[in-house]
Amino acid sequence: MDLVFYPHEVLRQRATPVESVTPEIRDALQEMVPLMERSRGVGLAAPQVGLSQRFFVVKLQDDPLYFINPELVATSHETGVYEEGCLSLPGIWAEVVRPLAVTIQAINLKGRPFQLKADGFLARVIQHELDHLNGVLFTDRLDEPLRSQILELYMKKRATS
Ligand code: NI
């Protein structure tokens, strides 16, 4: 399993719902954790490892949280700004506006549905990862001309690395 990088087309696809939580899905999710940690990420979505399926993992300080077929149930009206980066676009960061709190429902590794209310950094990471399942990158949430500038910077860095 390896990371794929922008502009890989899988990052732009709407990922497919998981029909059942098979051993393959569980293995993929558990394999994503060390890959994410090695890359110093706090969240990783299946399209970022080339799998166009609707699941992601988030790991802050505690145990990893696994989200399969996640759906947003509610988002706060209040928004906030925080600097984001992405393992699919290494080397660039930008401040992104997002709702401060979300309620999400999903299926866990055991195939059981759960609902989670999150705020702060966790809410931020969840929204970023959920975007990946819809082919959306954090740069899409920036206004022009910043969006073009930052992608240009990324492509330059990529060309020289
Ligand atoms: Ni990302």
Spatial distance between the Cα atoms of 13 and 161, rounded to a whole number of angstroms: 26
- Give 100 Cα–ligand 1 centroid separation in angstroms: 18
Instruction: Identify the CATH number of the domain in which residue 69 sits.
Output: 3.90.45.10
| Of 9, 129, 144, 152, catalytic | 129
Regions of the chain short of the pLDDT cut 70 = none
pLDDT at 50: 98
In the chain, how many domains are there? 1
Please report which helix (H) or strand (E) contains residue 101, including its range: strand 101-107
pLDDT at 45: 98
- Give 129 Cα–ligand 1 centroid separation in angstroms: 6
Residue 153 lies in a domain: yes
Longest CA–CA span in the chain (Å) reads 46
- Give 24 Cα–ligand 1 centroid separation in angstroms: 22
pLDDT at 14: 98
pLDDT at 62: 86
Residue 56 lies in a domain: yes
- Give 78 Cα–ligand 1 centroid separation in angstroms: 22
pLDDT at 160: 87
- Give 151 Cα–ligand 1 centroid separation in angstroms: 14
Residue 4 lies in a domain: no
Radius of gyration of the chain (CA): 15
Q: Are 137 and 86 in contact (CB under 8 A)?
A: yes
pLDDT at 68: 98
Residue 2 lies in a domain: no
**Short-list 69, 94, 91, CA closest to 81:** 94
pLDDT at 135: 98
Tell me, rounded to whole angstroms, the distance of Cα 35 from its chain centroid.
Answer: 14
- Give 11 Cα–ligand 1 centroid separation in angstroms: 9
Domain span holding position 126: 9-160
Spatial distance between the Cα atoms of 18 and 30, rounded to a whole number of angstroms: 16
Whether residue 144 lies in the annotated active site: no
Q: What one-letter code names the amino acid at 154?
A: Y
Residue 47 lies in a domain: yes
